[in-house]
């Protein structure tokens, strides 16, 4: 199980990190950059679908085709946690070492893309966010909240789809 958790978690994490670096660089290099949350979260769901294949691989090759919902969800959650943790660690290094002005660039981006009547409210909101982002613990929590919930939902769905009881078993 450990091998599959690490393998699939690291694959997910590496792709998440590459996507993050590309998107941040696009925001820095193109002042008219317009991100698309729907496309971004859809891509994350597709990427986290590797959880399904990691759990299925373990079920079929190590467990003889049988796995309980609990074991499948635990494994899927661990895969999501490994991928998300790699994403968080890379973001911390990338943010503090390479883009320490990210919040300023992001704030400018948000304020130039919002409706004119929303600028005042968004300015206050972004100033509060910038103040909270000075705390590394907040940076860690907010970064986990970007990806881990999606991974956990995919782990839950995967566990529901992949659970399979032994014939004649009550479990």
Model confidence over 29-88: pLDDT tens digits?
Answer: 876 666 667 778 888 999 999 999 999 999 999 888 899 999 999 999 999 999 999 999
CA contacts within 13 A on the Cβ side of 79 = 35
DSSP state of 118: G
Please report, rounded to a whole number, the percentage of residues in the chain having pLDDT higher than 70. Answer: 94
> Residue holding tokens 């660089």?
25
Distance CA 6, CA 13 (A): 10
pLDDT at 114: 79
pLDDT in tens, 86-131: 999 999 999 999 999 988 888 888 888 778 888 888 899 999 999 9
DSSP state of 164: B
Mean pLDDT of 19-33: 80
Q: 113, 33 in Cβ contact below 8 A?
A: no
pLDDT for residue 7 is more than 90:
yes
Q: Which residues are paired to 67 by β-bridges?
A: 164
């Amino acid at each position: 199980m450990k091998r599959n958790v690490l393998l699939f978690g690291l694959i997910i994490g590496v792709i998440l990190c590459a996507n993050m670096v590309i998107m941040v660089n696009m925001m820095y290099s193109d002042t008219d950059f317009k991100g698309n949350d729907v496309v971004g979260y859809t891509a994350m769901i597709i990427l986290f679908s590797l959880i399904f294949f990691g759990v299925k691989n373990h079920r079929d090759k190590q467990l003889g085709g049988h796995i309980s919902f609990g074991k499948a969800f635990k494994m899927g959650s661990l895969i999501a946690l490994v991928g998300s943790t790699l994403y968080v660690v890379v973001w911390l290094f990338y943010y503090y070492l390479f883009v320490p002005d990210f919040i300023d660039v992001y704030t400018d981006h948000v304020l130039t893309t919002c409706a004119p009547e929303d600028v005042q409210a968004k300015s206050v909101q972004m100033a509060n966010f910038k103040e909270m982002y000075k705390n590394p613990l907040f940076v860690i929590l907010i970064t986990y909240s970007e990806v881990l919930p999606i991974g956990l939902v995919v782990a839950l769905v995967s566990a529901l789809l992949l659970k399979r009881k032994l014939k004649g078993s009550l479990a």
